C-alpha cells in the first residue's frame, strides 16, 4: 500500500469562534446571531485540517501557544482531526482567542488578540516536517518566518505552495518569497477585482518563476495560469452562509489536485467549486474529494441540460 504524501502547512495557528449574522450591524447597534461555531485558524491550519480529512499525511507547523486550557484544547482538537502538530505549549504565553463575524453579504470581520510574543514564536518553530514532504503550504503574512520555511523547502527540493496577497501596485513587495515558490495562490476581494486586472497579476506572478498560479476572485470565481495559458473559471451565485475558510478550502483542493497530477483546469474547477460550496454552509466541508467532484459533475449535467 502506497503511503499518503506528506504535506506540511506553515503559518499562524490560533483558535476562535465565528458568529454568523444576517447583516453586519452599524456602529452602536447590534445583530442577532444565527449560528456560532468554533474553529482553529488561520489559513494554513484550515488547509491542513482539510487535507487530513481527505487522507493525506498532514503536518501543521505553527507558532507556540500557551500552556493553558485553550492551548491544550487546540492541540487535542487538531489531533482528533488527524493533523500532526509541531506546536509548542509555553508557560510564558497565553493562547490568543479570535472572534469573527460573518454575514450573508459574504464579508467577514475578525477580532484577534494582538499577542506579539505568540506570533513571533513562529520564527523558532520546528521545521523538521518539511524535510521529506512532497509539498509545503506557506502563508505570506507571517513575515520573515515564511522566507525561512521556503528556503528550507527549496534546500530539500520540496514544492512550495504559497498563499500571497499580491498587487501590481507594489510588485516587488514579496518578490523574494514568490521566487521561492513553485505554486502561487493570490486572493482578490470583489473590490480588488475592480481595481486590478487578475490576468495581469497572474502573468506577473508567472514571470517571477511560479510554475502554476491561481488567482481567486470571490464571487467572480478564479483564474489558473501556466506559461502560455490562462484558464478562467467562473462560479455560480449561491446563498452565502459563511465565507470564513473558503480560501483555505481552495488551497487544500488545489494542493490535493497537484499532488495527484490533475490537469490544471480540473484543479481550478474543483477548487473553485469546493470553495463556493464552503460558502453555503457553516464550518469546513465534510465531503470527501470524490463527493465534491460528484457534486460538480451533477452541476455540470444540470447546466448542460438547460
* Residue ranges of domains in the chain: 9-304
Q: Are strands 108-112 and 135-139 parallel, antiparallel or unpaired?
A: unpaired
Q: Which residue has the cell 507556540?
A: 64
Q: Are 163 and 247 in contact (CB under 8 A)?
A: yes
CA torsion, points 119, 123, 126, 132, in degrees to nearest 10?
Answer: 120
Q: What is the DSSP secondary-structure string of 189-219? A: -HHHHHHS-HHHHHHHHHHTT-SEEEEE-GG
pLDDT at 306: 62
Instruction: Please tell me the number of Cα atoms within 13 Å of 30 on its side-chain side.
Output: 3
- pTM for the model stands at 0.94
**Low-confidence winner among 32-41, 179-188, 297-306 (lowest mean pLDDT):** 297-306
Q: What angle do CA 258, 260, 266 make, to 5 degrees?
A: 65
Q: What is the pLDDT of residues 92-102, one digit of tens each?
A: 999 999 999 99
Name the burial class of residue 114, with classes exposed (0-12), middle (13-18) and buried (19+) by CB atoms within 10 angstroms of its CB: exposed
Q: What is the pLDDT of residues 242-301, one digit of tens each?
A: 888 999 999 999 999 999 999 999 999 999 999 999 999 999 999 999 999 999 999 888
Residues in the chain: 306
CB atoms within 10 A of CB 132: 12
Q: What is the pLDDT of residues 158-179, one digit of tens each?
A: 999 999 999 988 889 999 999 9
Query: What is residue 254's DSSP assignment?
Result: H
**Could you give the 3-state DSSP secondary structure of residue 125?**
coil
What cell does 123 get? Answer: 520564527
- Name 138's bridge partners: 10, 162
Q: Is the peptide bond before 299 cis (omega within 30 degrees of 0)?
A: no
Give the domain 9-304 fold: 3.40.1190
Among residues of the chain, what percentage have pLDDT more than 70?
Answer: 98
Q: Which residue has the cell 495581469?
A: 200
Rounded to whole angstroms, the Cα distance separating 160 from 174 reads 15
What cell does 245 get? Answer: 475558510
Q: Are 233 and 223 in contact (CB under 8 A)?
A: yes
Amino acid at each position: 500500500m502506497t503511503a499518503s504524501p506528506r504535506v506540511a502547512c506553515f503559518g499562524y495557528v490560533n483558535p476562535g469562534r465565528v458568529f454568523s449574522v444576517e447583516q453586519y450591524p452599524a456602529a452602536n447597534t447590534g445583530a442577532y446571531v444565527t449560528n456560532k461555531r468554533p474553529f482553529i485558524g488561520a489559513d494554513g491550519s484550515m488547509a491542513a485540517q482539510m487535507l487530513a480529512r481527505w487522507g493525506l499525511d498532514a503536518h501543521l507547523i505553527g507558532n507556540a501557544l500557551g500552556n493553558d486550557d485553550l492551548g491544550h484544547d487546540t492541540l487535542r482538537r487538531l489531533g482528533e482531526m488527524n493533523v500532526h502538530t509541531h506546536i509548542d505549549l509555553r508557560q510564558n504565553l497565553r493562547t490568543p482567542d479570535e472572534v469573527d463575524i460573518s454575514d450573508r453579504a459574504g464579508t467577514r470581520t475578525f477580532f484577534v488578540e494582538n499577542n506579539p510574543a505568540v506570533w513571533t514564536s513562529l520564527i523558532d518553530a520546528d521545521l523538521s516536517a518539511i524535510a521529506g514532504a512532497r509539498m509545503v503550504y506557506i502563508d505570506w503574512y507571517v513575515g520573515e518566518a515564511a522566507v525561512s520555511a521556503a528556503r528550507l523547502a527549496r534546500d530539500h527540493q520540496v514544492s512550495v505552495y504559497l498563499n500571497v496577497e499580491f498587487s501590481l501596485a507594489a510588485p516587488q513587495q514579496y518578490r523574494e518569497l514568490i521566487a521561492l515558490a513553485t505554486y502561487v495562490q493570490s486572493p482578490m476581494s470583489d473590490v480588488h477585482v475592480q481595481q486590478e486586472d487578475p490576468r495581469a497579476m497572474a502573468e506577473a506572478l508567472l514571470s517571477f518563476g511560479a510554475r502554476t498560479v491561481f488567482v481567486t476572485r470571490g464571487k467572480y470565481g478564479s483564474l489558473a495560469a501556466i506559461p502560455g495559458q490562462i484558464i478562467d473559471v467562473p462560479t455560480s451565485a449561491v446563498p452565502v452562509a459563511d465565507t470564513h475558510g473558503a480560501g483555505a478550502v481552495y488551497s487544500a483542493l488545489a494542493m490535493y489536485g497537484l499532488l495527484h497530477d490533475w490537469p490544471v483546469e480540473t484543479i481550478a474547477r474543483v477548487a473553485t467549486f469546493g470553495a463556493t460550496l464552503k460558502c453555503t454552509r457553516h464550518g469546513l466541508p465534510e465531503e470527501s474529494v470524490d463527493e465534491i467532484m460528484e457534486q460538480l459533475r451533477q452541476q455540470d449535467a444540470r447546466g448542460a441540460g438547460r
